[in-house]
Copies of this chain bind each other. A is one copy, B any other.
């Protein structure tokens, strides 16, 4: 549970947290039955307000990713992996599809889009 929070991203913080958990479950970094850090602990380690983490966890509960253990904390639900993989896939498609459609509608050519994606990926590869 250590990942960067980008506060000026447009993406709400609680959503970033929820996504990280979802993707971690999808990737097997978090396994069913494992407990996630407590709200307060996560809030401290992410330097974020506890309510923000609580909201992320609440959303994950309503998504069926986390389930509460009374008085103990929250654990990854047994059948969360499949849902997380689907959610991951859907998120990736939605984000990319949305931008691609937006640019397409603006008249940007497919070739241009692909070449820029490629160059952005290379840029990231270099910096990491």
> Interface of A with B (CB < 8 Å)?
3-4, 6-7, 9-11, 13, 19-20, 23, 27, 49, 62, 70-71, 88, 92-93, 95-108, 110, 112-114, 116-118, 120-121, 123-125
How close is A9's CB to chain B, nearest CB, in angstroms? 7
Contact partners of A124 in chain B: CB under 8 A: 100-101, 104, 110
Instruction: Return the chain B residue nearest A106 by Cβ.
Output: B23
Out of B9, B10, B93, B102, name the residue touching A9 (CB < 8 Å).
Answer: B102
**Does B112 contact A114, Cβ atoms closer than 8 Å?**
no
**Does A117 contact B98, Cβ atoms closer than 8 Å?**
no
**Does A13 contact B70, Cβ atoms closer than 8 Å?**
yes
Contact partners of A62 in chain B: CB under 8 A: 62
C-alpha spacing A112/B26, complex, angstroms: 15
C-alpha spacing A99/B88, complex, angstroms: 14
**Does B121 contact A104, Cβ atoms closer than 8 Å?**
yes
Known: A23-B106, A97-B120. 10 other contacts (CB 8 A): A7-B70, A11-B102, A23-B107, A92-B113, A96-B103, A96-B113, A96-B117, A96-B120, A97-B123, A100-B117
